[in-house]
Amino acid sequence: TVSILWFRQDLRLEDNPALCAAVKSGQFYPVYILDDENAGDWAMGAASRVWLNSSLDKLNHSLAGKLSLYRGNAEKILPALAARLGAGAVYWNRCYEPWRIGRDTNIKKTLNDANVVVKSFNGSLLWEPWEVLKKDATPYKVFTPYFRACRAGTLPAKPVPVPKEITALKDDEALSLEDMGLLPKQKKWVAQMHSHWDVGEKAAQHALSDFISNGLDRYKKGRDYPSEKSVSRLSPHLHFGEISPNFVLDKILEQSAGENRDHFYSELAWREFSYYLLYHFPKLPDENFQPKFDGFNWFGSQADLKTWQRGMTGVPIVDAGMRELWQTGYMHNRVRMIVASFLTKNLGVHWREGARWFWDTLVDADLASNSASWQWVAGSGADAAPYFRIFNPVTQSKRFDENADYICTYVPELAKLPTRYIYAPWEAPVEVLESVGLKLGRDYPEPITSLKASREKALSMYKDLAG
């Protein structure tokens, strides 16, 4: 009999345990289902869909055009497909979003009831979340002991190579990529975003080797500087599973030992920790991890949120980050922390609003990492930044964007100012602004809030919360 290989967050051939099992079983149909119905509120955002469109195209090429595409409720589509194609088994790699776990459990039951074998594999994580627990069998809530326990346990599985002969079949009734309707109407936005990325498995492997040759040996320090090329930019590739964390780790551990390698390993582990938290605390995307935040008075307005989204707050590093996000679908980690701190602490807007915007605009939008990181910055999360840690955007940009290169890339209207005023143009004397033809409020906004006053307000509110 034939089988079905259900691709999900594993759009690759290399190190794909479900693919290996399907190939071993004989002839199989590789399929992908866009299931917005079950995803509900967490249906993929616009930028992710742009990425997915290209990624499916690339995967289809690697499968010699045999990838079958569908859209709709996978709980209905998959069992019907198995019956129509006469499949005796379905293989997939596991996902960890709460809605996917619920859905997949139902699908497994329906298929088993119809005598179809289901086999699932770990294709996305170094450690399964249920394998790493404290002595009292409860989950860790703090990263360092979690990572220590991970490292003390079983070593992550070695990557498995691409099977030699893949005999995939195509369902003639499947949809075309265009029928999937993944691309939004804004063609200019899509083209602009595309110009920053190569999508697909080959591109992911290339990004990894490029990082190993050109970024890794300065990673620990360099990763804080947004205009440096010291980070891997692997996040969208990892999110869509164009490359596996096991493959990445394996290649990284082949490099000479040292603080850079260790630090990169620990960042990969933050991704793991985010999945771990989401698995054990499935309300993470929607509710404060620390319930004491439930009574917090988020005083920010919709207008503040809009201004932040548009990169028009008048605070240059914040605007640069928000514009990088819009133009490229990515934002450097240091800047993500700065803009998130600014939104939640200086503007008093709920972290969920920020997470929502990121969800729609990031190409690496990931329910686990995005929810965990937003709660971390807001202070409501597990092992979160303490409440008094309010990033000062001006100090941060002076420190991590020394020549203001990053700011000027995305906020070119400030480029003519002497560097020391670029970080906080409202501090520049009028003659200086005039000498470069810049008028605040006309050419670039006045700051949306006073950094000092809003910081003090946040501090006192957070202090009340801490009791």
316: which residues sit within 8 A by CB, 6+ positions away? 393, 397, 404, 407, 411, 414, 422, 423, 424, 425
Which residue number, 277 or 407, has a Cβ lying nearer to ligand FAD?
A: 277
Asked if 418 and 359 touch (Cβ cutoff 8 Å), the reply is no
Provide the 8-state DSSP code for 442. Answer: T
Q: What is the 3-state secondary structure (H, E, C) of 41-103?
A: HHCCCHHHHHHHHHHHHHHHHHCCCCCEEEECCHHHHHHHHHHHHCEEEEEEECCCCHHHHHH
Output the CA angle 73-359-45, nearest 5 degrees.
45
Identified binder of ligand FAD from the candidate list 44, 168, 238, 325, rule CB under 6 A = 238
Give the footprint of ligand FAD on residues 338-357 (CB under 6 A): 340
Does 366 appear as a known binding residue?
yes
Choices 168-176, 270-278, 398-406, 431-439 (CB under 6 A): range interacting with ligand FAD: 270-278
Residue 440 C-beta: closest distance to ligand FAD, Å: 28
User: Choosing from 37, 128, 228, 267, which is the catalytic residue?
Assistant: 267
The reply to whether 227 sits near ligand FAD by the rule CB under 6 A is no
Catalytic annotation on 165? Answer: no
Q: Which of 244, 246, 307, 369 binds ligand FAD (CB under 6 A)?
A: 369
The residue range among 26-34, 100-108, 335-343, 456-464 that interacts with ligand FAD, by the rule CB under 6 A, is: 335-343
Q: Which residue type, as a one-letter code, is found at position 399?
A: R
Provide CB contacts within 8 A for 80, sequence distance 6+: none
Rounded to a whole number of angstroms, the minimum distance from the CB of residue 196 to ligand FAD is 13
Report helix, strand or coil for 188.
Answer: helix
Residues 2, 88: contact at Cβ < 8 Å?
yes
Annotated catalytic, 351? yes
How deeply is 163 buried, as exposed, middle or buried, from its count of CB atoms within 10 A (0-12, 13-18, 19+)?
middle
- If one asks whether residue 265 binds ligand FAD (CB under 6 A), the answer comes out as no
Separation between Cα atoms, residue 233 and residue 215, nearest integer Å: 11
307 touching ligand FAD, by CB under 6 A? no
With CB under 6 A as the contact rule, the residue among 304, 319, 324, 366 that binds ligand FAD is 366
The helix or strand, by DSSP H or E, that contains position 237, with its residue range, turns out to be: helix 235-239
Please confirm, yes or no, whether 267 is among the known catalytic residues: yes
Residue number, 111 or 362, with CB nearest to ligand FAD:
362
Question: Any known ligand binding at 364?
Answer: yes
- Does residue 268 bind ligand FAD (CB under 6 A)? yes
What is the distance between the alpha carbons of residues 59 and 62, in angstroms, rounded to a whole number?
Answer: 5
DSSP readout, 144-176? HHHHHHHHHSPPPPPPPPPPS---B---TTSBP
**Per CB under 6 A, 240 contacts ligand FAD:** no
Candidate segments 48-56, 193-201, 329-337, 428-436, binder of ligand FAD by CB under 6 A: 329-337
Number of residues interacting with ligand FAD: please give it, by CB under 6 A: 27
Task: Give the pair of three-digit tokens for residue 299.
Answer: 């005083």
Check residue 234 for interaction with ligand FAD (CB under 6 A).
yes
- Which entry of 333, 392, 413, 426 is annotated as an active-site residue? 333
Indicate which residue of 270, 287, 392, 426 is catalytic. Answer: 270
Q: Is 293 flagged in the annotation as binding?
A: no
Q: What angle (nearest 5°) sits at the alpha carbon of residue 146, between those of residues 145 and 151?
A: 95
Residue 92 annotated among the catalytic residues of the structure: no
Which residue in this structure is represented by tokens 């000027």?
408
Site for ligand FAD in 143-162 (CB under 6 A): none
Cα separation, 12 vs 237, in Å, equals 10
* Residue 274 within binding range of ligand FAD, rule CB under 6 A: yes
**Which among 100, 99, 78, 157 is positioned nearest to 125, based on CA atoms?**
157
Q: Does 232 bind ligand FAD (CB under 6 A)?
A: yes
Beta bridge partner(s), residue 30: 5
DSSP 444: B
CB-nearer residue toward ligand FAD: 360 or 413: 360
List 55, 328, 370, 397, residue binding ligand FAD (CB under 6 A) = 370
**Smallest gap from residue 376 Cβ to ligand FAD (A):** 7
281 labelled as ligand-binding? Answer: no
Which residue stretch of 91-99, 145-153, 235-243, 317-325 sits at the interface with ligand FAD (rule: CB under 6 A)? Answer: 235-243
For residue 231, the minimal CB distance to ligand FAD (Å) is: 3
Kindly identify the residues of this chain, within the stretch 377-406, that bind ligand FAD according to CB under 6 A. Answer: 377
| 6, 99, 326, 351: the active-site residue | 351
The question of whether 374 is a catalytic residue gets the answer yes
Residue 316 CA to residue 220 CA, distance in Å, equals 25
Task: List, as residue ranges, the binding site for FAD.
Answer: 219, 264, 364-366
Residues annotated catalytic, as ranges: 267, 270, 298, 333, 351, 374
Task: List, as residue ranges, the binding site.
Answer: 219, 264, 364-366
Footprint of ligand FAD (CB under 6 A): 223, 231-235, 238-239, 267-268, 270-271, 274, 333, 336-337, 340, 358, 362, 364-366, 369-370, 373-374, 377
